[in-house]
Amino acid sequence: MKPITLAVAMLAALAGSMPGQTTSSGAPPTPPAPAQVAANIVARLTNLLDLTSAQQATAATIFTAQVTTDQAIGSQMQTAQTALQTAITSNSTSGIKASAATIGSLTTQRVEADAGADAAFYAILTATQQSKYAALHPLGIGAGHGPGGRGGPGGPGHAN
């Protein structure tokens, strides 16, 4: 998977799925803002690909939207995973089926969002940058994983 996808996936996972971790006040930690996550991604990509300022601005917009979507899906995924665990412990076949369907739908949404962001970013690159970017991804562009990660607690891994 792509190195940038792994970085964002790890940040998104840390931001949205830290059950059990709390601040000194006992409240769960606040996840980083999508714009901050996107800024970190853009900074890394700028170093790797020599992005122009116009490309940086466009990439920031792309990745902010993508991280926002991934965080929302991650929250919904946590809810679906909890519902699945409840269905398992209560031996509810219908609950298991409903939770599985929800998890499948959310996974599809995340893959679509990630791939769409990846495609939008790739489209703003020059041919030289596209070659560099492709070289960073041994699985190739279009592997179905964008910069925001995928899955939820216990969900499929995501590397970039």
Is residue 63 pLDDT above 70, yes or no? yes
Q: Is 58 inside any structural domain? A: yes
Query: Between 31 and 114, where is the model more confident?
Result: 114
Q: How far is 120 from 33, CA to CA, in rounded Å?
A: 21
End-to-end CA distance of the chain: 4
Model confidence at 156, pLDDT cuts 50, 70, 90, reads very low
Instruction: Kindly state whether residue 39 falls inside one of the protein's structural domains.
Output: yes
Q: Is residue 26 part of a domain?
A: no
Q: Does the residue 86 lie in any domain?
A: yes
pLDDT mean across residues, the chain: 80
160 in a structural domain: no
Q: Which residues of 8-17 are buried (b: 16+ CB within 10 A; e: fewer)?
A: bbebbbebbb
- Kindly state whether residue 142 falls inside one of the protein's structural domains: no
What is the total count of domains within the chain?
A: 1
Q: What is the mean pLDDT of residues 43-59?
A: 96
pLDDT band at 136 (very low <50, low <70, confident <90, very high): confident
User: Does some domain include residue 62?
Assistant: yes
- Domain for residue 129, yes or no? yes
- Percent share of the chain, pLDDT over 90: 64
pLDDT in tens, 64-113: 999 999 999 999 999 999 999 999 999 999 999 999 999 999 999 999 99
Compute the distance between CA of residue 88 and CA of residue 60 in angstroms, rounded to an integer: 41
Give the global pTM.
Answer: 0.70
Which positions ≥6 away from 137 have C-beta within 8 Å? 1, 2, 3, 143, 160
Average pLDDT over residues 142-152: 41
Domain that residue 52 falls in:
3-10+31-135
Which token pair is 9?
Answer: 């996936």
Contacts of 91 (CB under 8 A, 6+ apart): none
Q: Region 26-35: what's the mean pLDDT?
A: 85
